[in-house]
Amino acid sequence: EYFPNMFMTLLSIRYAKHATRPPQAIFKVPPRMTKHEIKEYLTKIYNLPVQRVMTANFDPKWKRHFAYGGRKIVPYKKSVAFKRAYVTLEKG
């Protein structure tokens, strides 16, 4: 049995009804998750026929928040780093 301790969020599906290209699903995954773990997660839990996995890392973005009311300190807020996985599925 396979019990993962990481999560995956489906963002979109491309080429679902395309005549020649295989369908491709885009997931948001934690940065520490590898390509092998992504493929194993999808095949063991959802029985998806995974052909190829490509990943892209996204760094956190810094946003500047202005403080009003006489304060001179300008706090910064950081978003969370994440990885996007492009999973190509077999046609059929």
Q: Give per-residue pLDDT as tens, 11-24.
A: 999 998 888 999 99
Cβ–Cβ < 8 Å for 81, 30: no
Answer yes or no: pTM beyond 0.85. no
d(CA 8, CA 46): 12
pLDDT classification of 87: cutoffs 50, 70, 90: very high
Phi and psi at residue 35, to the nearest 5°: -65, -40
HEC secondary structure over 5-30: CCCCEEEEEECCCCCCCCCEEEEEEC
Taking only the tens place, the pLDDT of each residue in 35-57 is: 999 999 999 999 999 999 999 99
Range 46-72 average pLDDT: 82
pLDDT at 92: 67
